[in-house]
A and B are shown apart, each in its own frame.
Chain A
Amino acid sequence: MKTLTRYFKVWWLMSKNSFMSMLTQKFGASVFIIGKLLRFGFFVAFIFFLLKGANTLAGYTFNQTIFFFLTFNLVDVASQFLFREVYRFRPLVVSGEFDLILSKPISALFRSLMGGADVLDLITIPPLIAGIIYVAGFLNPSTVHITLYILLIINGLLIATAFHIAVISFGIITLEIDHAIMIYRDLTNLGRLPVDIYMEPLRGILTYLIPVGIMVTLPAKALMGLVSAQGVLLSFLLGLAAIFISLRFWNFALTKYTSASS
């Protein structure tokens, strides 16, 4: 508990610094937020008009489709808010400044992963949650389904964490981060809409191999009462396995760090 409090204090301090540095660029930050909101609005409008004409998408109604989209955004934005530092990891390895992180008395993984939370993403989370609660109201979920939804969202974030750990580990070995993170973003973007729209074998790949479906589609399905107990159990096992494998990969990657340029 004492360690957890200490890490929370460190995270708070690093996040505060990151927020203050962001606030020095108010104009750019405002444009970025407006752009994100416009993109979100355009996509919601697209889903609205599409389903106005088509009535359903892969058997899902408008409210259900919007709920999938909002859930995807929640997991996506929350992971970007928490793990923005990953995007700044490459220069640390290339310049050898990663040495300074390794020599500090906190976990190097924690610092590399969560060292710079993004205030721009944080701002969009509360309205997103409000939107999710509003749309969920139309789906009449039971308490059990809401609980499962929350647990599966946490599980989705756990898988997102595993992806980010894998990306920075890969970065240590190959010095390649930007493209790896772009591939991750592209893959997760496939979860904007329920994975049921994809045909096999892509649907299977997106559910089990690259578990985008488990990250974003499954929580939404759980709230709609469309997931079996086995499905939920399998998701949690996959989440834990993903974290375990990514941590092993991180430890392996650390052994390959050469401290070049430092």
Chain B
Amino acid sequence: MQMFLVFFLWSSVFSDPSRELFGYNREKILTYVFGILVIRAIVLSARAVDVAGEISRGDITNYLLKPINYFRYWFTRDISSKALNLSFAALEAVILFFLLKPTIFIQTNGAILALFFLSLVIAVLTFFCLLFLVNIVAFWMPENGWAAQFLFIVIIAEFLSGGVFPLDILPIETQKVLNLLPFPYLLFFPLQVYLGKLTIAAILKGILTGIFWVVALAFGLRQVWNRGIKHYEAIGR
């Protein structure tokens, strides 16, 4: 339903097909809108949202006793969830495409497409680490695990990743600050790569920044997890 709001909002702004605004024309902004629908299903759909609940109920004890890696277990579940969500999003996109008949930009440059897929992999890993970090707050606040998730994932990540609007409508100084954070590399950056709005140098810089965040978040996650496990009291078990 929200797709209609976003689609018609931008359609209204770009009612003149020759209009160029914020570096977009009608074709590219509508591609951004449809791209968000699909990329969101790949990056932001994740089962690891349930980790906080497992910690607060004490269910995590079952996994700690088994010879499996808890992170890999959830990452595997995430991938299967993404596959399922992607199939629904693709179907949704096809239906909406035939209903709304937008003009879509198709990227044909193989190198750009390869970099786009690489940026998607980075986005998936970044979101996994972010989501896990936010969920394991439940080690210290078992009753309020949902609160951190609501604030950081539902609100902050949603807006600062470009999920609601393209970040390049913001002032350039704000964009520079945002580009230092991990959020734009979730949705906005992969779509900018796909739309061909960035130079190869800017893409490589973005990819390196994304990789830095994956490494930093994975390291931070390991540290917080180790402390959390020491703090864990298996309440409810």
Report A's interface with B, CB cutoff 8 A: 25, 27-28, 31-32, 34-35, 38-39, 42-43, 45-46, 49-50, 53-54, 57-58, 183, 186-187, 189-190, 192-193, 197-199, 202
Contacts and interface: CB of A to CB of B under 8 A. Distances in A.
A198 B5 CA distance: 8
B5 A28 contact: no
Interface residues of B, number: 28
B169 A50 contact: yes
Contacts of B155: 35, 38-39, 42
Given A35-B150, A43-B164, A46-B164, A187 B5 contact: no
A126 to B, nearest CB: 22
B164 A31 contact: no
Given A38-B151, A46-B169, A57-B13, 20 more contacts: A25-B143, A28-B144, A35-B150, A38-B155, A39-B155, A42-B159, A45-B170, A49-B169, A49-B170, A49-B171, A50-B13, A50-B169, A53-B169, A54-B13, A54-B21, A58-B12, A187-B1, A189-B5, A193-B5, A198-B4
Interface of B: 1-2, 4-5, 8-9, 11-13, 21-22, 141, 143-144, 146-148, 150-151, 154-156, 159, 164-165, 169-171
Given A53-B169, A54-B13, A190-B5, A27 B150 contact: no
A43 B146 CA distance: 23
Contact of B156 (A38, A198, A199): A38
Contacts of A54: 13, 21
Given A31-B150, A190-B4, A53 B22 contact: yes
B21 A42 contact: no
5 contacts: A46-B165, A46-B169, A49-B170, A57-B12, A186-B2
